[in-house]
Amino acid sequence: MKHFEANFDGLVGPTHNYAGLSFGNVASLSNAALTSNPKAAAKQGLQKAKALADLGMVQGVLAPQERPDLYTLRRIGFSGSDAEVLQKAAQQAPALLNACCSASSMWTANAATVSPSADTRDGKVHFTPANLVDKLHRSIEPITTGNILQATFNNDRYFKHHQHLPEHTSFGDEGAANHTRLCSEYGHAGVELFVYGQEATNPSAVKPTKYPARQTLEASQAVARLHQLEDESCVFMQQNPDVIDQGVFHNDVISVGNQNVLFYHEQAFLNTEAKFDEIRRKMNTEMHFVKVATSQVSIDDAVRSYLFNTQIITLPSGEMAIIAPTNCQENPAVFAYLNELVTLGTPIKQVRYYDVKQSMQNGGGPACLRLRVAMNEQEVAAVNPNTIMNDALFTRLNTWVEKHYRDQLTVSDLADPQLIIESRTALDELTQILKLGSVYQFQR
């Protein structure tokens, strides 16, 4: 049977804005208060997704979330009509209003952790939405994320959906951003590499001192248990706390894997050699560890350019390509490195650049914008077909964006009562386009 690695990209929501909400994420903080362009952001994302579909990849889309999140604002005591809730929150607690308006669900690498059927004991594809407890604005995502995943992968015979982990920092979980599956072929059993930032229940374990470690070992282990993975097919590896303190807030900002390739910065991990030996032992195929040295690319350049937040994909020809943000072309050290990389005799033979700057300015590169789901052809056929990218869906979604999205949004616009009306109108229409049913609270 054929097998694929599908990418499901998050559609950028109508409230995409720069409010500087993510402490530890350098781009989010340094671009706080810029004026955003939600329409351009959504179109950039669609272009990237369509480009991958045109390369012959299985490409889907995941719906964004309803924002402003008036349910959370009401839950914390703001009352009255929608307009009154927004106005009171803007006056009394603007930071909380901002947290309820982020379009952060676009970064679907943080939507969930996914284990393909080849790895799981019951032979189903398992999904656990990430609880994202480290950031207030992201902690309000998992319930709706679960609804959207269930409406997209809506067949119990092939797909198993779990509840997100308990909402406590001991179980801080950021989903696939800290999870890489290594394998020979997508349909063969692989090794699932879980990268965590700290051990929550071991007070003497090393951890970052400046910025938070968003993923805990305890969360990664819980996901591996839920997904019915064998110990022999899991590796748990700690991220280097020093690089978290330099702005590497997720592992996918410092390493990325595909099949038997792990592309990583030499400072990415702790205990690197011993852990790589464990990976080699657990894999039944040769591994290519493609190391980037600090002398080639500094951590600062990696964080600015998102060299490692690239997607490595296997094209239908069997060749691997890197999908990079145009920011990598603009950074001389990184551009020189990528030009050299394709000549080094590794499986990576091409680099393709896409402009996703609207997302990059909030710290989200090409790899943040997608959730990987490896599936065989029966499983692909069981996915909600209306979410799969093709010429017709691309045209329809661009028209939908053109109709509903603003081309400018500032933080002071977030209290505009018209914005929630626009957002709900857009999302209601989107659920009809993607045939998702009622996934949003305002539809229930």
Ligand X SMILES: N=C(N)NCCC[C@H](NC(=O)CCC(=O)O)C(=O)O
Q: What DSSP letter does each residue of 276-323 carry, written as one string? A: HHHHHHH-SS--EEEEE-TTTS-HHHHHHHTTTSSEEEE-TTS-EEEE
Label the pairing between strands 320-325 and 112-115: unpaired
Q: Which of the ranges 83-91, 107-115, 269-277, 324-332 carries the binding residues for ligand X, by CB under 6 A? A: 107-115
- Three-state SS at 214: coil
313: tokens are: 């994909």
Minimum distance from CB of 107 to ligand X (Å)? 4
Active site residue 340: no
Minimum CB distance to ligand X, residue 364 (Å): 4
Residue 109 or 182: the one with the smaller Cβ distance to ligand X is 109
Catalytic-labelled residue, pool 174, 192, 199, 218: 174
Residue reference for tokens 């990268």 = 195
| Residue ranges in 64-103 that form contacts with ligand X under rule CB under 6 A | 102
Q: What is the β-pairing status of strands 370-376 and 3-10?
A: antiparallel
> Could you confirm whether 250 is annotated as catalytic?
yes
Q: What is the DSSP letter of 162?
A: P
Between 119 and 158, how does the x/- string for binding to ligand X read (CB under 6 A)?
----------------x--x--------------------
Scan for tokens 């386009």, then name that residue: 433
**Residue type, position 341, single letter:** L
Compare residues 6 and 195 and give the one whose CB is closer to ligand X.
195
Near ligand X by CB under 6 A: residue from 292, 364, 374, 439 = 364
Residue 247 C-beta: closest distance to ligand X, Å? 11
Determine which residue in the list 53, 90, 109, 217 makes contact with ligand X, applying CB under 6 A. 109
Give the whole-angstrom CA distance, residue 304 versus residue 295.
16
| Shortest Å, Cβ 356 to ligand X | 11
- What does the chain come to in residues? 444
DSSP class of 186: T
Q: Considering the complex, what minimum distance in angstroms separates the CB of residue 326 from ligand X?
A: 17
Counting other chains too, the contacts that 73-78 makes at CB distance below 8 Å and 24 or more residues apart are 73/97, 73/100
Footprint (CB under 6 A) of ligand X, residues 18-47: 18-22, 25, 28
101 tagged catalytic: no
Residues that bind ligand X (CB under 6 A): 18-22, 25, 28, 102, 104, 107, 109-110, 135, 138, 177, 249-250, 252-253, 362-364, 368
Residues catalogued as catalytic: 174, 250, 368
